[in-house]
Structure 1
């Protein structure tokens, strides 16, 4: 890595010019558009664990273990609960996203960078549209996006499932070969990369304590990760300079 806001896998500053072909910018929401250290998703995570504990009459340790197992195997705990226990999703989605969004602070620098990006911009999230709208409002970026595509719009088939991306592409008309995807989990970039998207992994550098599971740290150096940054706003500014 060249600096804390840089890139890996052999890329240099000049390589950012490849973003010049991009006309669609696709952003994950949680821990991508806002920094993981804000701990907003920690609230969601705690409510998911509580939901699993109450639903299945488990102790907190057992509930957390099952929650993380479903998250890893199915993409979201919700999908695991639907497949394994046949739950209806509406109450789950409403319950786990009923959180305090105030830890997400306005980010004028990020907002300006996103607004300046040429082409269409989308949020692609495994969460709910209502949650995404609240986060976007807190960040001050609501008006800079063409649409939000949530897990409900994907018929509750979350990333990293191929169906999520296929349905997003069908709904928006995005051409993958001229699209860029920004994510905080490497596994969620496998399909976008295979489709031809330019991929960027947004992960805090050198801060293992923010990760809940070892597998979340996997894949930073994988071929499907083209760029790596720990500061999305700064990275987008560098991209804009490179393609100006």
Structure 2
């Protein structure tokens, strides 16, 4: 069955959240297409430049970099606003990432439907780090879950008792595959980018990436080819709406 997790409509709300392209000499569809290429596929800025050149569009990789930095997060936030409210069962997990040769930790939360709720790059995975992530999650989603599912890391239990003691906490390695599986696209990009240069750069990229990439990754294994094409058409239409391409003559 085709996913119904993303809906069309909300015209006035969509229009009010479109980013401003004032001062940019390139058409909106060129900008949004470059940002889509970079966050959807494991491409470098130079590779996006080359792909656009093949289409007859001359744009430098530095310009693509600026577009991704300026519009990536706003596109991701707009996509998140189009999603339904988070589920009441949250799966949390942390994984180490190498940043400029040093080990840091990427904390991630998804709901029972696999929707990424938030990510946070931190230096540690202790109680303070877990508590900070819990509070950021509740602020970002404006909600409190019914259940949280984590691995056996003790920091989760200590932070849980302090921040959300009324929430059920299930701690079991085998129950947390849903969160662990969502790390795979991040690992793929980490390899393609040959690591991150700073914590700030990693947070900026992964925050936008976790909002844009899943939008174009529906549960393909649950759909027929026809259903998948229909779902992707819907998602491309939503992308055109939130980026402001709707009403333009053509796509890039």
TM-score (normalised: structure 2): 0.30
TM-score (normalised: structure 1): 0.30
Q: Which structure: larger Rg?
A: 2
- Counting strand residues as a fraction of each chain, which structure ranks higher? 2
